[in-house]
Amino acid sequence: MRDFRPIVLLAAFSACGAPPLTQPSGPSPTPESKPASAPPAVKNTLPGDGETNVATTTLITIVFAGAMDEATINERTIHLEDGTGGHVSWRGGRTATFLPTGGLRKGATYTVVVGADVANDSGVRLGADFTFSFTTVAPEPTKDTLAPTVLSTTPAAAAEDVAVNTLIHATLSENVASVPAGAFSVGGVPGTVAVNGATITFTPSAPLLHATTYKATLSTAITDTSGNALAAKHEWLFTTEEAPDTSGPVLAQAAPEDGAHDVDLASIVALTFDEPVKATSVTSTSVRLEANGASVPVFRNTSGAKITLTPKATLTPGTVYTVIVTSAVRDLIGNAMAPLSITFTTVPPPDTVPPVVVSATPVNGAMAVAVNVAPAFVFNEALDPLTAVAANVTLKDAATSDVAFSVGYAAGTLTVTPSAPLTAATTYTATLGTGLTDVAGNPLAAPYVLVFTTAL
């Protein structure tokens, strides 16, 4: 409550019918001896300071404690602080009113200013602004007819790698009142629905499946607190994360292959897995190369999903090697692989042994051989076909005359076919020269001679 200061008024007793004052004896008082008038003060206001729920039609009223100088009561000295215009009226004596132009606004706080220049009927000014404030009645709420819309979802539309234990949220443009059964669904997944303000949450009863695409749906059965249904059905898709990796590396390719033969002596062992391998897990004990049970010195290198073993020396010919990989080898997250082994055999030692005729038809020294015979020679190993030619073979009769013939070679057998039937009762000599070689280039150690005699 404000401290309202009373205004001291000098009343004319004669105006009230009282006897006139008697002039005191002695000299008349000088003007300087007249007592000073107290400044004016506001006694009461309507509305009161701090009052709320004030009607917008209220006539703002200021009641002063004493008579005022009407000339100082106007729109300049009495006004609303926010600049709202209005009309000031003097009701006579002590009361002034302020009528806002267009009335007061609902739900607004106003401050009335009574200016310092307001003066009482003795001309004494207020000296400082006097203010009081009030708040008008709140406006009536307007009916909400706007349909709610979906502002955002979690997971977002088209999201990937969504955790399988995620909760599905939808935030609407206004608070939600009702979500009937089935109005918020996630791909047929059972679950519960909860509402918190404008957010609806679907909690699956069990974790979602890995690597699965789900469709979430909000139906128009969902309403806001004013009963307005969702503007349109809202659907979106999201995809859950892949299943966690719990498997160790699996061999995808090996070079040399398991069981390979005739492997080059300068070969490097390369193992390629289906996922990157942890380099620190590849050691001399977890990945090694052995021959006849003994460790073979190698350089090891790991790059992504590939491990290579480079022998420090050339491999030994005709040797069985074994690559051993233990379960100590891990992938990048620590999953162990299943142990494995790979066996291969290097090329045999160089062939330095000459080819040998193991049989001949007819046999050496044969008699009564048919005149249409085609001598055949079987070798212990394959010949170089380029050397199995007539230039490296001779066929002569007893007079050492050359007999015309052709040479054929197939499946380790060299055949000498005379161009015409041989002469009866004649001795012939077939000679295989040292120009014949095996596939390794080894020539016959010495010419092979076959003598036979034809029949009468």
393 & 415 share domain:
yes
| Residue in 396, 440, 443 with CA at minimum distance from that of residue 416 | 396
- Say whether the peptide bond before residue 204 is cis (omega within 30 degrees of 0): no
Domain that holds residue 187: 150-240
**Region of poorest pLDDT, from 138-147, 245-254, 293-302, 365-374:** 138-147
351 domain residue, yes or no: no
Share of the chain above pLDDT 70, in %: 92
Question: CATH no. for residue 102?
Answer: 2.60.40.3710
Instruction: Give the residue from 307, 326, 346 where a domain finishes.
Output: 346
The answer on pLDDT for 1 being more than 90 is no
439-455, pLDDT tens digit by residue? Answer: 999 999 999 999 999 99
The answer on pLDDT for 399 being more than 60 is yes
For residue 142, the model assigns a pLDDT of 80
pLDDT band at 37 (very low <50, low <70, confident <90, very high): confident
152-173, pLDDT tens digit by residue? Answer: 999 999 999 999 999 999 999 9
Rounded to a whole number of angstroms, the CA Rg of the chain reads 61
Instruction: Give the residue from 297, 327, 346 where a domain finishes.
Output: 346
337 & 389 share domain:
no
Residue found by looking up tokens 């679950």 in the block: 191
The answer on pLDDT for 437 being more than 60 is yes
pLDDT band at 20 (very low <50, low <70, confident <90, very high): very low
Chain mean position to CA 444: 73
25 & 81 share domain:
yes
| Residue in 191, 198, 188, 150 with CA at minimum distance from that of residue 168 | 191
For residue 10, the model assigns a pLDDT of 31
What's the structural domain count of the chain? 4
For residue 35, the model assigns a pLDDT of 55
385, 425 Cβ separation under 8 angstroms = no
For residue 178, the model assigns a pLDDT of 87
27 & 121 share domain:
yes
39 domain residue, yes or no: yes
CA angle, 151 as apex, 149 and 155 as ends, to 5°? 125
Instruction: Give the residue from 136, 162, 188 where a domain finishes.
Output: 136
Mean pLDDT over the full length of the chain = 91
The long-range contacts involving 351-355, CB below 8 angstroms and separated by at least 24 positions, are: 351/381, 351/438, 351/439, 351/440, 351/442, 352/440, 352/442, 353/442, 354/438, 354/442, 354/443, 354/444, 354/445, 355/379, 355/380, 355/381, 355/383, 355/436, 355/437, 355/438, 355/442, 355/444
For the segment 262-277, the average pLDDT, to the nearest whole number, is: 97
| Residue in 225, 222, 148 with CA at minimum distance from that of residue 181 | 222
159 & 223 share domain:
yes
pLDDT band at 198 (very low <50, low <70, confident <90, very high): very high
The answer on pLDDT for 75 being more than 80 is yes
What's the pTM? 0.46
Question: CATH no. for residue 320?
Answer: 2.60.40.1220
